[in-house]
Structure 1
Amino acid sequence: MSNNLPVINLMGPTASGKTALACELYERGNYELISVDSALVYRDMDIGTAKPTKEEQLQYPHHLIDVITPMEVYSAAQFVDDAIRLIDDIHSRGKTPILVGGTMLYFKALLEGLSDNLPNADQAIRSEIEAKASEEGWQAVYDELVHVDPLAGEKFKVTDKQRIIRALEVYKITGKPITQLQLEQPKNLPYRYTFYNYALLPDRVELHKRIALRLEKMWEIGFLNEVELLIKKYDLDENLPSMRCVGYRQALEFLNNGDSSHKKRTEMEDKALFATRQLAKRQYTWLRSLQELHHFKTYLTTKQAHEDLRNLHR
C-alpha cells in the first residue's frame, strides 16, 4: 500500500469552529468525516456534547458518532483501531478522510501509535479501584500504584486520577507494570498514511465568549432534561467515563443533590462553565505539545482556514 495516502487532521479546542469548517470542506470536496471526540461516541448524549443534529448528520455524515451507550468504555486504542479501519475504507472508495475533533489523546495515539500489548479497559476493575478511592482516599490508591509500579509513581501525582486508574488497571489485568509494557514493544505506527495537520486556535478571550454562548444555548434547549432522561434510562454514576464529560458531571451532581433552587442551579452552571474553560485550556496545551513533534498549520479564525484550505487535496 502506498505510504502517501492523505489523511487530514482538523483539530481545535471546544467551540473553535472546527466542525463547521469540516462540514464546509465536505461540501466542496471528495471527503468523508471521522469524528475525533471522546464525548460524541455516546448515544443519547446530544445537547451537552454539542453533537451535530440528526439533520446535520444526514447532510454531513460523521463516522464514530453514537458508537456506544453511556455505560460503556471507549479507549484510545479502540479509537485507533476504528479510525484506521475507516481511513482504509474511505481511501478504497477514492475519497480522502477528514478527522475532526478536540480529543487530543486520540490524535496523539493516531499520529504516534500505541503500544499494542496494552489491554483494553475493564470497567469492573476500574470500579474496584474507584470504590477503594471512595472508601480509603486517593492517597491509598496512589500508594498501591507506587508499590507495584514505582516508575509510574514517579511520573504521576496523586491528583492524576485517570492515569492512576489506568496504570493499576493494566497491572491487575497483566501482572506487569504499565511502564514496563510501554517499553517492551515498539509503537505500531500507521506509516502508510501522510498526515496533514491543521488546527484552529482562536484568541482565548474570543473562545471564552463562544463557550459561554454555547453553554447558555445548551441550558435553553434542554440540557438538564437530557441528563434527567439519561438517569431514567441508565444506571449512571459519576465515575463512568461518560459522566466525566464536562457539563454532564456538574448536571448529574446537581440533579442527584435534590436541591433545585435558583442558587444551586446558578452554582452548577458556573461550575460547568469553569470546567469547559479548563477543558479548552488543556486542549491548547495538548496542541502545543503535539506541534513540537508534528508539522502543523494553525489558524486564528475559520475564515483564515477557509481561504487557505479552499483547494485542499482535491
Structure 2
Amino acid sequence: MSDSRPLAVFLMGPTAAGKTDAAIALYERLGCELISVDSAMVYRGMDIGSAKPSALELKRAPHRLIDIRDPANPYSAADFRQDALCEMRQISQSGKVPLLVGGTMLYFKQLVDGVANLPAASPEIRTQLDKRWREEGLLALHRTLAEVDPEAGKRIHPNDPQRTLRALEVYYASGRPMSELWAEQEASTFPWRVVSIALAPENRGVLHQRIAQRFALMLEEGLIDEVAALKQRDDLHLGLPAMKSVGYRQVWEYLDGEIDHTALLERGVIATRQLAKRQLTWLRRWKELHWVDSQHTHALDNVLKLVRESGA
C-alpha cells in the first residue's frame, strides 16, 4: 500500500559535518525549502558561535526558523514543533518539499513524536512526593509506581528519581497511568512521509579535527566580540538556554576572567566534541536512517540520490 503523505527530508548530523553546504545544494538543485533545526540559530545576535549560515548563504538559500527569537526569551522544543509544523504545511501546500536541516536532535524527535498530553507540574503533589522520598526512600516510591503503572515501572530505572517522581505525579494529577498517555502519543501518525539522512564522517578523528579547526576559526572571526556585545545587556545571563549554548558559555567565562585564552580554546573544543558525541548517540537510535560519509568524494551526490529516490 503506497504512502500518500507528502514528503519531508530530514538532513541530520553532528556539528561541523557539512550539513549547511549540503542543504544549500538541495535547495538549488532540487528546489527543497529549508527549515533550520538548531537551538542556537533561532536567536538573533548569535551568528558566529552557532555557525549560522552567512548573509550571502541565506540569500542564496533562505532558511526558515533562523533569527526568530531574542536570546532573552527562551525557545523550547515545543515552540519549535509548533513553528516547524506551520512552516512544513506552507511548504507542502505550495507543492515543494520541506527539508529540515540541523543537529538539535531533541527538536527532530519532538517534531515527529509530538507532545504527550501530560498534566502540568503540580507543586502540591510534588511536595508530597518529595516528602515521601525523604522519609521512605526512592525504592519505595518506585514500588508504588510499579503497582499503579506497571509498564512505566518497567521502563523507568529504580534509581531514576526525576522520571519516577514525574510518573507518579502524572498518575496522581490525571488519574491515568503515564504509560497510557505514552501509548496514545506513539499511536499518532506524523503527517509527512520522512526520509532521514545523517551526514557524518565515518572517521571520528576527522570530525574531531574539523571541530578544533572550526572553533579556532570562530575565535578568529570575532566570537569573543560577539559574546561581549551580548554580555553588555542587562537581561542576559548564563542561566538562559541561549547563553548555555556550546561556545557561548565558554567565552562568557573567559570574559568573566575565570579562564585564560588557552583554556577557552581547549574547553570550547571539548564542549563541541561532547555535543557531537551526544548527537551521534541520538542518531544511532534513529529509525530508518540513511548514513552518508561526509568525507566521501561523492557525498553530496549520494545525498542528492537519496532525496531524488524518495520522490523529491
TM-score scaled to structure 2, two decimals? 0.78
1:143 & 1:220 partners in 2: Cα distance? 51
Cα–Cα, structure 1 residues 86 and 14, in superposed 2: closer, same or farther, change >3 Å? same
Pairwise mapping of residues 188-227 of structure 1 onto structure 2 (< 5 A)?
A: 189-202=188-201, 203-227=203-227
State whether structure 2 residue 230 is matched by structure 1 residue 230.
yes
Equivalent residue number for residue 135 of structure 1: none
Equivalent residue number for residue 277 of structure 2: 281
Instruction: Map Cα deviations across residues 264-313 of structure 1 (whole Å, 9 max, x no partner).
Output: 111122111100000001111010011xxx21110112644322233523
Gaps of 5+ in 2: 124-130, 146-151
Shift of 1:176: 4.2
How many residues in Structure 1 have an aligned counterpart in Structure 2?
A: 280
Gaps of 5+ in 1: 126-139
Amino acid at match of 2:290: K
Amino acid at match of 1:289: R
Q: Percent identity?
A: 40
Equivalent residue number for residue 295 of structure 1: 288
Shift of 1:91: 0.7
1:157 & 1:73 partners in 2: Cα distance? 30
Equivalent residue number for residue 53 of structure 1: 54
1:231 & 1:250 partners in 2: Cα distance? 13
- Equivalent pair of 1:7/1:98 in contact (CA under 8 Å): yes
1:118 & 1:272 partners in 2: Cα distance? 38
State whether structure 2 residue 265 is matched by structure 1 residue 264.
no
- Equivalent pair of 1:80/1:106 in contact (CA under 8 Å): yes
Amino acid at match of 1:198: I
Amino acid at match of 2:218: M
Cα–Cα, structure 1 residues 56 and 156, in superposed 2: closer, same or farther, change >3 Å? farther
Shift of 1:244: 1.3
Shift of 1:30: 2.1
2:80 & 2:158 partners in 1: Cα distance? 24
Shift of 1:49: 0.4
Pairwise mapping of residues 20-39 of structure 1 onto structure 2 (< 5 A)?
A: 20-39=21-40
Equivalent residue number for residue 128 of structure 2: none
Cα–Cα, structure 1 residues 155 and 51, in superposed 2: closer, same or farther, change >3 Å? farther
Instruction: Map Cα deviations across residues 221-247 of structure 1 (whole Å, 9 max, x no partner).
Output: 110000000011352222211111111
The structure with more radius of gyration = 2
Equivalent residue number for residue 184 of structure 1: 181
Cα–Cα, structure 1 residues 223 and 101, in superposed 2: closer, same or farther, change >3 Å? same
Equivalent residue number for residue 128 of structure 1: none
Equivalent residue number for residue 9 of structure 1: 10
Equivalent residue number for residue 310 of structure 1: 304
Amino acid at match of 1:299: V
Amino acid at match of 1:197: S
TM-score scaled to structure 1, two decimals? 0.77
Instruction: Map Cα deviations across residues 126-165 of structure 1 (whole Å, 9 max, x no partner).
Output: xxxxxxxxxxxxxx9x979969x8569965978x9xxx59
Instruction: Map Cα deviations across residues 42-63 of structure 1 (whole Å, 9 max, x no partner).
Output: 1110000000112211111001
1:6 & 1:93 partners in 2: Cα distance? 13
1:252 & 1:95 partners in 2: Cα distance? 41
2:102 & 2:119 partners in 1: Cα distance? 24
Cα–Cα, structure 1 residues 273 and 157, in superposed 2: closer, same or farther, change >3 Å? farther
- Equivalent pair of 1:115/1:182 in contact (CA under 8 Å): no
1:226 & 1:97 partners in 2: Cα distance? 31
Equivalent residue number for residue 134 of structure 1: none
Cα–Cα, structure 1 residues 57 and 273, in superposed 2: closer, same or farther, change >3 Å? same
Cα–Cα, structure 1 residues 156 and 54, in superposed 2: closer, same or farther, change >3 Å? farther
2:104 & 2:29 partners in 1: Cα distance? 25
Shift of 1:250: 0.9
Shift of 1:206: 0.4
Instruction: Map Cα deviations across residues 60-93 of structure 1 (whole Å, 9 max, x no partner).
Output: 1001111211111211112111111111100111
Cα–Cα, structure 1 residues 208 and 157, in superposed 2: closer, same or farther, change >3 Å? farther
Amino acid at match of 1:191: F
SS at match of 1:35: strand
2:109 & 2:231 partners in 1: Cα distance? 33
- Equivalent pair of 2:254/2:261 in contact (CA under 8 Å): yes
Shift of 1:181: 5.1
Shift of 1:3: 4.0
Equivalent residue number for residue 244 of structure 1: 244
* Deviation larger for 227-236 or 99-108: 227-236
